[in-house]
Amino acid sequence: MGRASQAKEKLLDSAIELVYRRSYASVGVQELCEYAGVKKGSFYHFFPSKRDLTLAVLDRLLDRVRTTIFDKALMPSRSPIKALERWIALIYADTCAVKQRIGHVLGCPIGNLGIELSAQDEAIRRKVEAIFDELSGRLERVIQEGIAVGAIPNQPARKTARALLAYIEGLHLLAKTTNDPEVIRRLGYEYVRRLTCAATRSAGPDTRKS
């Protein structure tokens, strides 16, 4: 990796860290460059504005949540319910890791940016909306499979997926305001249990991986 690429990576990583710990508004370009150890001119070489940096940060955050949570949890080898339970478990583990490292639950970094900036910047609002659409689409496919095998009661899969994602974003906020990751584990599993409790179970044990 060349020096230019390293500088860009440092800026992205530093922006994710500083904005996640504090907020978009509280982090200036000068402070970001100093934290990253990158000259201010390099910032504007890669990012014409702070908005452009934020859009790139959102792309990076989406890549992370895809690979570290969704891809690991929503595997075809898992039954739909076990996939959703694993999804909750990975979100909970990530939240615990943040609290252990920083001392406080910080919430969902994508959701945090959406809450702070959606009413101020249309490009960022659209980016966050597109991210949530993609992630709810992943959940929708799992729910559709659950309905098909009788593990989840028949219902509009798209609406259920969007409601589930919204519920988890709400748990992120509640965990942040109470500084308690257990909120995500306890109430997340409860939601999945309620989602499935009225379903007619198919005969025979589930032999797919947990």
pLDDT recorded at residue 133? 98
29-56 average pLDDT score:
95
23 with 123, same domain: the answer is: no
- Counted domains in the chain: 2
pLDDT recorded at residue 4? 65
110 with 68, same domain: the answer is: yes
40 with 59, same domain: the answer is: no
- Per-residue pLDDT tens over the stretch 193-205: 999 876 544 434 4
Does residue 206 lie in a domain region? no
Does residue 208 lie in a domain region? no
Residue linked to tokens 């390293």: 6
Q: The domain containing residue 5 runs over which residues?
A: 1-47
Q: Residue 150 corresponds to which amino acid?
A: G
- Whether residue 2 is predicted with pLDDT greater than 60 in this model: the reply is no
| 122-143 CB burial, b ≥16 within 10 A, e <16 | eebeebbeebbeebbebbbebb
Sign of the CA dihedral with 22 first, then 23, 26, and 27 last: positive
- Whether residue 206 is predicted with pLDDT greater than 80 in this model: the reply is no
Cα–Cα distance measured from residue 137 to residue 208, given in angstroms and rounded to the nearest whole number: 22
54 with 25, same domain: the answer is: no
37 with 125, same domain: the answer is: no
Cα–Cα distance measured from residue 4 to residue 26, given in angstroms and rounded to the nearest whole number: 26
pLDDT recorded at residue 202? 40
Does residue 209 lie in a domain region? no
- Per-residue pLDDT tens over the stretch 101-133: 999 999 999 999 999 999 999 999 999 999 999
pTM confidence score: 0.89
27 with 64, same domain: the answer is: no
54 with 36, same domain: the answer is: no
- Per-residue pLDDT tens over the stretch 53-105: 999 999 999 999 999 999 999 999 999 999 999 999 999 999 999 999 999 99
Cα–Cα distance measured from residue 17 to residue 127, given in angstroms and rounded to the nearest whole number: 19
Q: Is 25 exposed, middle or buried (0-12, 13-18, 19+ CB in 10 A)?
A: exposed
Locate all alpha helices (DSSP H) within the chain, ordered by sequence. Answer: 3-21, 29-36, 40-46, 50-65, 71-73, 80-102, 109-117, 122-148, 157-178, 182-196
Q: What is the CATH number of the domain that holds 24?
A: 1.10.10
pLDDT recorded at residue 207? 46
Cα–Cα distance measured from residue 113 to residue 125, given in angstroms and rounded to the nearest whole number: 9
Q: What is the CATH number of the domain that holds 138?
A: 1.10.357.10
For residue 176, give every residue at least 6 positions away whose Cβ sits within 8 Å of its Cβ, in sequence order, or none. 104, 105, 106, 107
Q: Is 200 exposed, middle or buried (0-12, 13-18, 19+ CB in 10 A)?
A: exposed
43 with 81, same domain: the answer is: no
38 with 63, same domain: the answer is: no
HSE, side-chain direction, 13 A CA sphere, residue 32: 33
- Per-residue pLDDT tens over the stretch 11-33: 999 999 999 999 999 999 999 99
Pair 139, 118: CB distance under 8 Å? no
pLDDT recorded at residue 196? 86
Query: What's 120's DSSP letter?
Result: T
Residue linked to tokens 């009225």: 198
